[in-house]
Amino acid sequence: MKKNDPYAALRYKEFNIFLLLRFAMVFAWSMQFIIIEWQVYSLTKNPLSLGIIGLMEVIPAISMALFAGHIVDQKEKKGLLFKCILGFSVISFGLFLLTWPPVVSDVSTQTILYSIYFLVFLGGLVRAFLGPTIFSLLALIVPKKEYANAATWSSSVWQISSVLGPAVAGFSITWIGVHWSMCFVLACSIFALIALSQIATKPILNPKIGEPIMDSLKEGVKFVFNNKTILGALSLDMIAVLFGGAVALLPVFAQDILKVGPEGFGVLRAAPAVGSFLILIVSAYIPFNKNAGMKLLSAIFAFGICIIVFGLSSVFWLSVSALFLSGIFDGISVVIRQTILQLKTPDHMRGRVSAVNSIFVGSSNELGAFESGLTAKLMGTVTAVVFGGSMTLLTVFITGVVSPTFRKLDLQKDIEEHQKG
């Protein structure tokens, strides 16, 4: 057994540039989302308009995902990523102008609002292509034997930047205002473009170039549904996100149940992110590849228990601890899922499999928030969270019983094969 090298993937120069680029993009994206929500709410004072922003982004991102996956598998990845980041920069520039008082002083609020919605919708289209392109490019930058390590680093960077983005956005709105905060987002995306220019053009590994789009999409969906491991990992994650969407109800807990105000809300919001960030650092040193199936099931089971404890708690620190632990278990499941996807997907299918993944997991985030809101309205907030946690436990139990192959899944052999390859 070879000693595990936690920095294996970082020994490739291009992979470090890729991580910088990924950090800049996720950071800019999550920061922009918060700034725009703030700006729209300041304009309308209507919480429904916040829901519309989410929908505006998620509708194109999901409806275009499969088509985008097909394009990604057919095209050269670096050029495609360049177009994605350029598209994002143009959208950021548009939002930068829409938040600049001299530009919009004579424009009606309604027009500004619809323009923002339109740009967010375009952003959703870019997002549909961005995910599969980045996922496919990663596999072309590092050799097969380092996939598991690269997936860990890539997930960690994603996690750090998606936590930092909203935090920095909050401070920068206070310090330099909405408009200059958008200017900073624009700067991040231009930085990402410069970083990308340092990565060499990669070959296209798809043997079926020019394949009719419907055949290609069918092949992608069929591959996921026939591959029990990938399907199991995606379904489990989707259910956990769908029913474990307690985060959507955090404002209610902070204000009415724990009565802690905005500072407490900030702590509750950060707790799961800190947990998952810590576990991502640990996972580079202690990989979860042995008995991965059992570990994934246990992690999601423990996640469900944390959600139930959080729902029943009326003590602030207990709630924070439960959320912190839920982040740790969620982090474990993210790392294992990413590793399964990287190891089990053939090169020419990466774009499409990543697209199916984003439909499963991306849509369940938005739907999870809706499910939490709906059940909270029907059964009350605490019952809704406990119900969500219980459904997660039930799903894990059913998966474990129905699919013994998934329960016995071990990625160690796959990794050793890749290391020989």
Q: Two tokens at 295?
A: 């570990």
Radius of gyration in angstroms for the set of CA atoms belonging to the chain, rounded to a whole number: 21
The per-residue pLDDT for 353 is 83
Q: Is the pTM of this model over 0.75?
A: no
DSSP string, 127-177: HHHHHHHHHHHHHHHS-GGGHHHHHHHHHHHHHHHHHHHHHHHHHHHHHHH
* Contacts of residue 407, Cβ cutoff 8 Å, sequence gap at least 6: 293, 294, 297, 399, 400
Condensed to tens digits (0 to 9), the pLDDT of residues 237-282 reads 888 777 776 666 776 777 778 887 656 766 777 788 788 878 878 8
Closest CA to 303 of 269, 333, 283, 268: 333
How confident is the model over 37-54, as a mean pLDDT?
71
The per-residue pLDDT for 322 is 95
Rounded to whole angstroms, the Cα distance separating 123 from 106 reads 26
Rounded to whole angstroms, the Cα distance separating 332 from 300 reads 9
% of the chain with per-residue pLDDT over 70: 91
How confident is the model over 301-308, as a mean pLDDT?
93
The yes-or-no answer to whether 1-204 and 210-421 have a common fold is yes
CATH label, 210-421, candidates 1.10.540.10, 1.10.1740.10, 1.20.1250.20, 2.30.30.280 = 1.20.1250.20
How confident is the model over 5-13, as a mean pLDDT?
83
38-42, 78-82, 177-181: least confidently modelled range: 38-42
How confident is the model over 153-171, as a mean pLDDT?
77
Indicate if the pLDDT at residue 3 is higher than 70. Answer: no
Condensed to tens digits (0 to 9), the pLDDT of residues 105-127 reads 888 888 888 999 999 899 988 98
Condensed to tens digits (0 to 9), the pLDDT of residues 312-325 reads 998 999 999 999 99
How confident is the model over 70-88, as a mean pLDDT?
90
The per-residue pLDDT for 5 is 78
* Contacts of residue 132, Cβ cutoff 8 Å, sequence gap at least 6: 65, 68, 69, 72, 350, 351, 352, 354, 355, 358
Which of residues 21 and 256 earns the better pLDDT score? 21
The per-residue pLDDT for 1 is 40
Q: Are 277 and 331 in contact (CB under 8 A)?
A: yes
The CATH superfamily of 1-204 is MFS general substrate transporter like domains (1.20.1250.20)
Which of residues 207 and 72 earns the better pLDDT score? 72
The per-residue pLDDT for 192 is 93
Domain ranges for the chain, please list them: 1-204, 210-421
The per-residue pLDDT for 64 is 85
